[in-house]
Structure 1
Amino acid sequence: MRRIFTLLLLFISLVCYGQITIKVLDQESQIPIQDVIFESVDGKTELSDESGQVTFNSLKSETFIVSKEGYQTLRVRLSPGENVVFLKKLAIDLSQVTVTAFESQRPLLEQSAAIAVVREADFNRFNETSLVNSFNTKPGVRIEERAPASYRVSIRGSSLRAPFGVRNVKVYWNEVPFTAPDGTTPLNLLDLTNIRTGEVIKGPSGSVYGAGNGGVINLSSPAQVSGNRVSSDLLLGDFGLVKYRLGLAQKIGSGALEASFVSQKSDGYRDHSAMDRKVFQLSGSFNPSEKQEIRTQLLVSDLQYEIPGGLNEDQLNEDPTQARPGSENQNSSIDQQTIFGSLAQSYTFSTNTKNTTALYLMTTEFENPFILDYKKELSFGYGGRTSFELNGNLLKKPMRIVLGAEAQGSVTDAQNFGNVNGVADTIRFADKLRASQAFLFQQLEWNLSEKFLFTLGLSENFSSFEIDRQVDASGGATGIQKRTFDPILIPRVALNYRISEFTAMYGSISSGFSPPTIDEVRTNEGSLNLDLEAERGQNYEIGFRHGKEKLNIDFTAYFFKLDETITTFTNEQGVVLFQNAGATDQKGIEAAIDYDFIRNGSAAIRNLSLGTAYTGQFFTFVDYQKRENDFSGNDLTGVPQTTLVSRFDLRTSPGIYLNLTHQYVSEIPLNDANSVYQDPFNLMNLRIGWAGNLGRKWDLEIFTGIDNLLDEVYSLGNDLNPFGGRFYQPSPARNWYGGIKLGFNY
């Protein structure tokens, strides 16, 4: 009897564990996909149900071909037990796109804000060395790169106060704040392979995200492991470009681990513009229960890049590849090492209540030899964000309430030295810097009817910084100086009207604010400008979206009025200083139209599409007085009035693809007086490749491309209001690249 009982238990265990259970999800939205075809190598075929589930009886690992119209076909090897498979869309309808902006996971057609979605497919249209080209295909978004890894981010012209670095834009990476509490963002620490998707919320979003009039960028790279996999990439190009990546993905029960190492080097187009970045990332995703998900991230980044500096017009015409005189001798450069770790948890208490909480720690060692001085910093940062989602009814209408909080702090030891031939000399001044910011946010989403969605949001914001001057070699005062900004309330109200299943329009009124960063208060020559006020803005916006089958349309018109605008000027020593300069009026139009002539075709051409993105920015200064000069009525510095991006995409059934992108940028005023402009330019990029499978376990992609196909003379980031007329930061001439990607599924 005991033997029979033992055999029965063994039989039951074999039945339970002799199954391959699969859940298939959309890679971007994480929503289950129904009617996905799973075909095993021995001919068994099953379809996923409405929850994305499918089950095969098997006692061993098997290889499956996974396919569905509109998605990339996938070949995976899965083991008995629970498995998750992610599919990538070949083309996207706006009616099917789900985004998480404003703590609200809804279809894009139901979102009452201007949101641009950047997908992995957008990254893969270009050379995959930076974010710049892919983000710049979206209307209203402009990432500038004055030299390799030297970024500025402009959303609706928000880079006016950023002569260097990323300011006035809030960035999140995998749900945690990546923008420091002092308002700066080290975006160049991330390699493109550390990002799978990006959502750009354009315009002030302080009701949920706090400081930043420009907008918000949500970047994500969740561990999405369909099966065990080893992969490697290699990229070569002009100007000494060498980039390689090694990746490993491993399923662990219902969770997964993913690790990658990336090295990217280049000599640069200009003299003294080399770059060397190494990034290691370890990601984990675990499900202790059906209600709980835990996600971890570890990022280790080592970045060095040289700063060639701006040229005047004569130097530009003489040789655009030369560096600013003195830059090389003084070793003008950045050397930065960072460790960033985060832990996030999502817990579903019930069908109506959910909490998401994320915490992070970050430490950075930073050195910046410059022509005028030598800066060293050691900083430590920490922070977190939590939000509760409550679903219910109000007056018998569906309602969602979001309640949350975010807090950050940082401590930095900052020292400024003299620079003698690239070596730190006598100390000039030293400070201990502390920055903190925190806010509470609340948001109500109420379905007034099946067609109307009403949103009301509000945040209460608190920020301060402290500068403890410990050394001042010039004999100036030492001691603590602190600036605490008055608490600021930031409201937002919006209404979305769903015209049909595929069409919607919306309107919103939102406020924003942006306090000065420590770098704007504490300048390189040692002065402290504690009188700088926070910028305050008010945004009025209407939008229209349509997405059905082959045609997508996204249109936005807005008026943004900014008070206490922070602008730059340069003193005779070449030091960039900041001031509040009255107000600006910013009127804009953003439009994107995509049309798929062929989608998921069965003939030689599988996909053929065209797309156009238009940005019209009609920004002017209002009541702007700088010393004895009155610039009221002038165009806003650094902002092109017209940007037009067109793309052509072709993918064939044998796996050959072609991506062609053209970008037109109108003239750009480079000083407040509007007396110097960058000429309009046309930038064209081309990529051609082949992607396919080699047998059951291997996949391969080979590609080549040309950047700046028309060999234009242009810049992706000039200097604004510089001393000595050094406006120009020339970008690379025509150049080529090529690469290979190889993956093994085991």
Structure 2
Amino acid sequence: MKKIILLCFFFLPVWAYSQQVTITILDEESREPVVAALVRIAGQSNLITNDIGQATINLSENARVVVSHVSFEDRTYVLQPNVDKELLMTRKISALGEVVVSAFESDRPLLQQAAAISRVSERELYRFNETSIVQAFNTKPGIRVEERAPASYRISIRGSSLRAPFGVRNIKVYWNDIPFTSPDGTTPLNLLDLSNIQNTEIIKGPAGSIYGAGNGGVISMYSRQQVTENRISSDVAVGDFGLYRYRIGVDQQLENGGISASYAHQKSEGYRDHSAVDRKVFQLAGHYFPSAKQRISTQLLYSDLDYQIPGALTEAQFLENPRQARPGSADQNSSIVQKSLYAGISHQYQITDKIENVTSLYMENTEFENPFILDYKRELKFSYGGRTKFILEDRWANIPVRLILGGEYQFGRSSAQNFGNRSGVADTIRFNDDLVTTQGFLFQQLEMELTNSTILTLALSENFSRFDINRSIDAQRGVPSAAERSFPPVVIPRLALSQQLNSTSAVHGSISAGFSPPTIDEVRTNEGSINLGLEAERGINYELGYRAGFAEGRVNLDASIFYFRLDETITTFTNEQGVVLFRNAGSTDQRGAEVLLDYALIRNQTAFLNEMKITHAFTGHYFQFRDYESGGNDFSGNQLTGVAPNSLVNQLDLTTRAGLYLNFTHQYVDEIPLNDANNVFQNSYHLVSARLGWRRTFAGQWDLELYGGAENLLDEAYSLGNDLNAFANRYYQPAPGRNWFGGVKVGFRY
């Protein structure tokens, strides 16, 4: 009897303090129970929620639990003894009807959008080596990102890179809804580390009715928009060619918001000679909620970028040794050093129940230095600008409407000097320019829900732009000079219609105009000439599309066809010194088809292999010069330079309950014409890459991920960014052969 009393006394603390807590797991949007969710808590056996989304846990003190499900994002919660709790889970984007995008300033499910839109999620960005956006973007139909050298990007959306021998042009880029494209029309996308991007939306084709000048499209990138927990994280990655990258980040919740800070440093010796890169990026972000009707976001980004430019090779040099640099590149220290400070603030205010305003302002300062084989450039750039929009949601004549009125303005000033290059050192000055660029537009858009399934959109913008070139030093002419060019207001309309066929499928059609004036770098070229006769590109795009989801979101199809007629197409050519120049090339016909198909073969939370997903992306771009004569040659009917007629991407993604995952990617790219005459082509090629990893959460506080992988497993010889219409037949910028990478990530919640 005494033994029984002592035994009861021993367990008394457990009976006294251990309490049963019932948790109910719900879908955040539908409030439906999440069945078969995995609940993990340190020191206890894993639990599975029942058919009403519930599980019961014994707790004697506050504890963290991790809840995971194949269809939802993993979440961590803090539970208290004797306090039952509802836990909300955010569904992973799978079915088209669940994908909400903000394109054309309209927060609607993708199924209701009347435009060709691709979304690159955070999961897709981290399917590959975590050093650039290239591979993730290239898995989307109609989009091609080229990397002529590490950190030297060129982006083509539906063949828009013809006028961009280097850099990102003819595409408008926003970062956290703030203009990231400079007033002069160029975009320093290489300033961003991958950790500065969480999600991306890409509009393909003209979008000037809302976003101003540009025929290629719009890229809207977002970093993390809210601080949901206190967390410290760090990751380290290594790879071939001396690759080393590390990042550290801190998230801190505040009473009415939160702040986050991150620092990333990436270095590489490069695959080719003279192709090293060194980039340091610091980001400080704040998200605040002063009241129930207001939200303020701030961004501070500092980027210090230094990369070498190996230059293009002839075919003979490419075949002899693809790792060599162009002769003279190393001797002249051909490279770019760029330091940029970018600051932005965005204010969202719900004025009334029906009216909302969002206003964003930014300021940027850049020091740019570019020794090149032929010259040496220095620039000091300063720019500022902003964007504002008013949104009215109401009913007119019993029809739900959404009216958007807004405007955008940017101003930039540059002090640009061009010198001779003597063994990598700036020599005698050739010319000194003060450059001023101004651009802006007003936009209006009306959306009318004619029926429960029909949405009509009418939109237009009025655009203006101007640049001034004041040359104070001109070594060739000997006298100062001034030049200016302004483009009168241009109206860009858009008409779009979306018809939902049922709850899981819809068709859409649109007619949209495009307008793209030349950038100041295209008018003012490296050898000092100023081409004021270069005209703006103008075009009109006709598009039809179909989207559908089947088998409860397990199968998704997104397809579109389009015809884009472009007049005054800007193309490149080189003079006798090898300097890239620009000219208008008549007109082009651009017909295309783009298809994305994904399907989940396995989706079972309780099985070891809980998800198996396959994705196919096909691009058919059948572009040609419609009317183009140059130098006595008629190129009419030729393929558009730099555009692959066909490409196909296949992806396989596997995840397991144990935390193991595999991402496998195959990409086929058709042969690419490298000059307007179509007598030089890059051969077609196949790229295969894979990433294998393991991720797990421990004690509800620690996150750990280990991964490794390989790129170009077939060891293909190819160029990821050719020089078009190249002088002396230097077309090729060889990309790395087979190479390996790996890394580790650690996070701690406090």
TM-score after normalising by structure 2: 0.91
- The residue that corresponds to 2:336 in the other structure is 334
C-alpha separation in 2, matches of 1:553 and 1:23: 30
C-alpha separation in 2, matches of 1:89 and 1:128: 24
Q: 1:429-462 deviations in whole A, cap 9, x for unaligned?
A: 0000000111000000001111110000000001
- The residue that corresponds to 1:254 in the other structure is 256
Residue 23 of structure 1: how far off its partner (Å): 13
- The residue that corresponds to 2:9 in the other structure is none
- The residue that corresponds to 1:94 in the other structure is 96
C-alpha separation in 1, matches of 2:288 and 2:723: 46
Alignment CA distance shift 1:189-1:32 (3 Å)? farther
C-alpha separation in 1, matches of 2:637 and 2:348: 50
Alignment of 1:624-639 (within 5 A): 624-639=628-643
TM-score after normalising by structure 1: 0.92
Residue 600 of structure 1: how far off its partner (Å): 3.9
- The residue that corresponds to 2:143 in the other structure is 141
- Is 2:38–2:69's contact at 8 Å kept on the other side of the alignment? no
- Is 1:76–1:226's contact at 8 Å kept on the other side of the alignment? no
- The residue that corresponds to 1:237 in the other structure is 239
* Secondary structure of the corresponding residue to residue 164 of structure 2: coil
* Secondary structure of the corresponding residue to residue 283 of structure 2: strand
* Secondary structure of the corresponding residue to residue 311 of structure 1: coil
C-alpha separation in 1, matches of 2:66 and 2:644: 48
Residue 349 of structure 1: how far off its partner (Å): 1.5
- The residue that corresponds to 2:614 in the other structure is 610
- Is 1:85–1:225's contact at 8 Å kept on the other side of the alignment? no
- Is 1:348–1:354's contact at 8 Å kept on the other side of the alignment? yes
- Is 1:638–1:671's contact at 8 Å kept on the other side of the alignment? yes
Residues 1:682 and 2:686 aligned together: yes
Residue 226 of structure 1: how far off its partner (Å): 2.2
Alignment CA distance shift 1:188-1:24 (3 Å)? farther
Alignment CA distance shift 1:174-1:361 (3 Å)? same
- Is 1:223–1:256's contact at 8 Å kept on the other side of the alignment? no
Alignment of 1:434-583 (within 5 A): 434-548=436-550, 549-583=553-587
Alignment CA distance shift 1:309-1:200 (3 Å)? same
* Secondary structure of the corresponding residue to residue 185 of structure 1: coil
- The residue that corresponds to 1:699 in the other structure is 703
- Is 1:84–1:226's contact at 8 Å kept on the other side of the alignment? no
Residue 65 of structure 1: how far off its partner (Å): 2.9
Alignment CA distance shift 1:46-1:357 (3 Å)? farther
Alignment CA distance shift 1:150-1:25 (3 Å)? farther
- The residue that corresponds to 2:73 in the other structure is 72
Identity of aligned residues (%): 56
Alignment CA distance shift 1:23-1:292 (3 Å)? farther
* Secondary structure of the corresponding residue to residue 334 of structure 1: strand
Residue 124 of structure 1: how far off its partner (Å): 1.1
Alignment CA distance shift 1:33-1:347 (3 Å)? farther
- The residue that corresponds to 1:595 in the other structure is 599
C-alpha separation in 1, matches of 2:86 and 2:289: 12
C-alpha separation in 2, matches of 1:468 and 1:59: 75
- The residue that corresponds to 1:375 in the other structure is 377
C-alpha separation in 2, matches of 1:199 and 1:23: 30
- Is 1:337–1:365's contact at 8 Å kept on the other side of the alignment? yes
C-alpha separation in 2, matches of 1:304 and 1:78: 48
C-alpha separation in 2, matches of 1:272 and 1:479: 38
* Secondary structure of the corresponding residue to residue 317 of structure 2: helix
C-alpha separation in 2, matches of 1:656 and 1:167: 40
- The residue type equivalent to 1:440 in the other structure is L
Residues 1:641 and 2:641 aligned together: no
CA RMSD after TM alignment: 2.5
Moved more, 84-93 or 312-321: 84-93
Structure 2: 5+ residue stretches without partners: 1-23, 50-58
Alignment of 1:45-84 (within 5 A): 63-67=64-68, 70-77=71-78
Residues 1:193 and 2:195 aligned together: yes
- Is 1:76–1:227's contact at 8 Å kept on the other side of the alignment? no
Residue 88 of structure 1: how far off its partner (Å): 6.1
C-alpha separation in 2, matches of 1:85 and 1:434: 54
Residue 276 of structure 1: how far off its partner (Å): 0.4
Residue 390 of structure 1: how far off its partner (Å): 0.2
- The residue that corresponds to 1:4 in the other structure is none
Structure 1: 5+ residue stretches without partners: 1-21, 48-57
Say which of 195, 219, 222 aligns to 1:220.
222
- Is 2:26–2:33's contact at 8 Å kept on the other side of the alignment? no
Residue 79 of structure 1: how far off its partner (Å): 11
- Is 1:522–1:529's contact at 8 Å kept on the other side of the alignment? yes
Residues 1:151 and 2:170 aligned together: no
- Is 1:357–1:384's contact at 8 Å kept on the other side of the alignment? yes
Residue 63 of structure 1: how far off its partner (Å): 2.3
C-alpha separation in 1, matches of 2:322 and 2:440: 45
- The residue that corresponds to 1:414 in the other structure is 416
Alignment of 1:285-364 (within 5 A): 285-364=287-366
C-alpha separation in 1, matches of 2:660 and 2:69: 20
Moved more, 389-398 or 458-467: 389-398
C-alpha separation in 2, matches of 1:38 and 1:102: 38
- The residue that corresponds to 1:711 in the other structure is 715
Residues 1:666 and 2:683 aligned together: no
Residue 622 of structure 1: how far off its partner (Å): 1.3
C-alpha separation in 2, matches of 1:86 and 1:536: 49
- The residue that corresponds to 2:181 in the other structure is 179
Q: 1:678-736 deviations in whole A, cap 9, x for unaligned?
A: 00000011000001112221010000000001000011100000110000000000000
Alignment CA distance shift 1:665-1:39 (3 Å)? closer
How many corresponding residue pairs? 711
- Is 2:616–2:648's contact at 8 Å kept on the other side of the alignment? yes
Residue 394 of structure 1: how far off its partner (Å): 2.1
